Amino acid sequence: MGYYALVIVLMLFQHHCASRVSGNIQVPALFVFGDSLVDDGNNNFLQSIAKADYYPYGVDFYQGSTGRFSNGRTIIDVLCDMFGISYLPPYTSADLNGTRLLSGVNYASAAAGILEESGQFLGERFYLNQQVLNFQSNINDMRTVLGGQSMLDQFLSKSIVVVVIGSNDYVNNYLLPSLYTSSYYYSPQDYANLLLNRLSRQLLALHNMGLSKFLVAGVGPLGCIPSQRATGQGPPGRCVDSVNEIVGFFNRALRALVQQLNSNHPRALFVYGNTYAALGDILNNPSAYGLRVIDRACCGLGRNRGQITCLPLAVPCANRSEYFFWDAYHPTEAVNAILAERALNGSPSDCYPMNLRQLAQLSLL
């Protein structure tokens, strides 16, 4: 038996065992595109202000401060645990080659947006188009390790793409009129259409490279994050409703885009992740999820601990499992775990037209 054939057999055996652990879910790999909500260390290697490679980030993560914008696991890490695959290497990992590619890769980058200019004042980042190009740069290595185009096609068709992006196109673009002119030139609806037009191109580029199963997450209720609450634009103790209304245009258009893509591309399946509704349910019923604090960050300074985000060596709250928000922008591991569970097993109100478990079991060959 040749080397590559042996590698393939061993990997199939490992994934078979892993799938038994995770309830017969057959997923060879996850490929992740997005922003700081799912970045697991890519920005560590970029000239960027948007970094999380210092304590207390990772205070509850077994590897410590890896660049994850959380006290612990991201939603991607939780999904990896559920699927029984290894945590994904960041694209910028020095040893990203060979079999390391075969559990998937995380291309997400903090401060990244769908638009190239979003978040640019924070420094280097891989915006969405660049992330797609980064994936393309890994394809030849995957083909070589798997032993040819046919095996690559099967591998990619069974893998799942997770896209979590769009927040920075609002928080670090449209909602910053002092730095960006987008809100002067575009109505909320027109801006959402602009974003979805660009996003659609990148999704189809990935599909054309062989990927077939997509979870595309909507934008959460940004008016409820500590940094927006700290602006004082909303009533005391309330989310900033005007921001949530703006985000609503994007989410409605994204759901419609998913329906359109599924109609036009029968050899692929696109799933809309209703992040807004899932997070809204948690915010409206925190005690049902074991949470107590929903209006301020666990780590940060100023009003709602959201005016200055978590700084190096800051002392975070002790009862992190009771907090919704870790810092000015990101949820705690506790919330990430809830989101992952709803993505995997949720109803069509969470994931439309199917959840990740159903997507994983679907054959598109």
Beta bridge partners of 269: 213
Give the pair of three-digit tokens for residue 125. Answer: 């980042």
330 is catalytic: yes
The DSSP annotation for 73-115 comes to --HHHHHHHHHT-PPPPBTT-TT--GGGGGGEEE---TT--SS
pLDDT of residue 365: 67
**Domain boundaries 3-361, corresponding CATH code:** 3.40.50.1110
36 is catalytic: yes
- What average pLDDT score do residues 101-109 get? 96
Residue type at position 336: N
Candidates 15, 19, 35, 36; catalytic one: 36
- What average pLDDT score do residues 10-38 get? 67
Quick check: pTM over 0.85?
yes
Question: What value does the mean pLDDT of the chain take?
Answer: 93
* Nearest CA among 248, 226, 239, 247 for reference residue 303: 226
153 is catalytic: no
Q: For residue 339, is pLDDT > 50? A: yes
Q: For residue 98, is pLDDT > 90? A: no
- What average pLDDT score do residues 256-270 get? 97
User: What whole-number distance in Å separates Cα of residue 163 and Cα of residue 39?
Assistant: 11
Q: Phi then psi for 164, rounded to 5 degrees?
A: -130, 95
Give the pair of three-digit tokens for residue 320. Answer: 């992190």
Query: Residue 327: in which H helix or E strand, if any?
Result: none
pLDDT of residue 9: 33
Q: For residue 71, is pLDDT > 50? A: yes
The pLDDT tens digits for 34-43 are 999 999 999 9
Count CB-CB contacts under 10 A for residue 62: 9
Count CB-CB contacts under 10 A for residue 197: 12
pLDDT of residue 26: 78
Least confident span in 71-75, 88-92, 231-235: 231-235
pLDDT of residue 4: 36
How far from each other are the two terminal CA atoms of the chain, in whole angstroms? 27
Q: For residue 235, is pLDDT > 90? A: no
Q: Domain-by-domain residue ranges, the chain?
A: 3-361
User: What whole-number distance in Å separates Cα of residue 27 and Cα of residue 47?
Assistant: 34
Q: For residue 7, is pLDDT > 70? A: no
